[in-house]
């Protein structure tokens, strides 16, 4: 089902089928980048939904030493903390030889400073990203672009800003900490954007958000508004 020319939905029987399809698409994107310029730089989503995708992708026959992986967002917690997104990515991909880059090397109380540090780290990477894989929360957030005091900056900050520190308001109950997130500009400049979600509730949120356009009350709607690149949304019940 195509919502518009730039956003296409792909539906699956279950999450396992979706994981295999998304992993296959990601493998193709990575292979293409390696063939084109000798390396790939990708941003991957945190949370539990994409873990089966990573399990399958990590088994792909790729030259993983040429692949750099960053989290699309990170909680400002110590490395190894259960809330750390990069820790889960490292478990999946470091054994394969990929470079998994923490964007919050040390926890700090100054979330704005953490964002500036992450942005500086990303300036040294090849840009734009070859792939940005996003999830969407039940409240419509994506990456860590949440309502709060930093919402407008995440959406409308300078185009050259790749990451920033954000303080969600209200803080999510399951992870009540400040974050670092890719900016909207960093996300929509990517060569490929894939969204992977499960459940009817999240599907309705995304459909409503896209339908609302640039005035959407949902962060994902604001991120996708007026995007000029194709976006594939993979969904399973």
Distance of alpha carbon 79 from alpha carbon 45, whole angstroms = 16
Q: Which of 60-69, 71-80, 220-229 has the lowest mean pLDDT?
A: 220-229
Share of the chain above pLDDT 90, in %: 94
Distance of alpha carbon 182 from alpha carbon 160, whole angstroms = 11
Return the pLDDT at 131. Answer: 98
Provide the mean pLDDT of the chain.
95
Q: CB under 8 Å to 226, separation ≥6 — which residues?
A: 213, 214
């Amino acid at each position: 089902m195509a919502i518009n020319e730039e956003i296409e939905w792909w539906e699956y029987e279950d999450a396992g089928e979706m994981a295999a399809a998304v992993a296959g698409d990601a493998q193709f994107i990575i292979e293409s980048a390696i063939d084109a310029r000798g390396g790939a730089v990708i941003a991957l989503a945190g949370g539990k939904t994409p873990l089966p995708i990573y399990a399958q992708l990590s088994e792909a026959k790729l030259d993983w030493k040429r692949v750099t992986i960053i989290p699309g967002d990170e909680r400002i917690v110590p490395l190894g903390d259960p809330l750390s997104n990069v820790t889960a990515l490292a478990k999946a991909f470091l054994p394969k030889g990929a470079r998994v880059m923490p964007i919050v090397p040390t926890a700090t109380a100054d979330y704005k400073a953490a964002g500036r540090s992450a942005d500086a780290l990303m300036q040294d990477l090849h840009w734009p990203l070859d792939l940005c894989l996003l999830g969407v929360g039940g409240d419509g957030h994506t990456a860590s672009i949440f309502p709060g005091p930093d919402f407008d900056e995440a959406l409308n900050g300078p185009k050259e800003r790749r990451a920033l520190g954000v303080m969600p308001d209200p803080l999510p109950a399951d992870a009540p900490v400040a974050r670092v997130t890719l900016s909207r500009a960093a996300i929509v400049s990517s060569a490929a954007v894939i969204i992977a979600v499960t459940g009817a509730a999240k599907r309705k949120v995304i459909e409503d958000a896209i339908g609302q356009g640039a005035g959407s009350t949902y962060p994902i709607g604001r991120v996708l508004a007026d995007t000029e690149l194709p976006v594939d949304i993979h969904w399973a019940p």
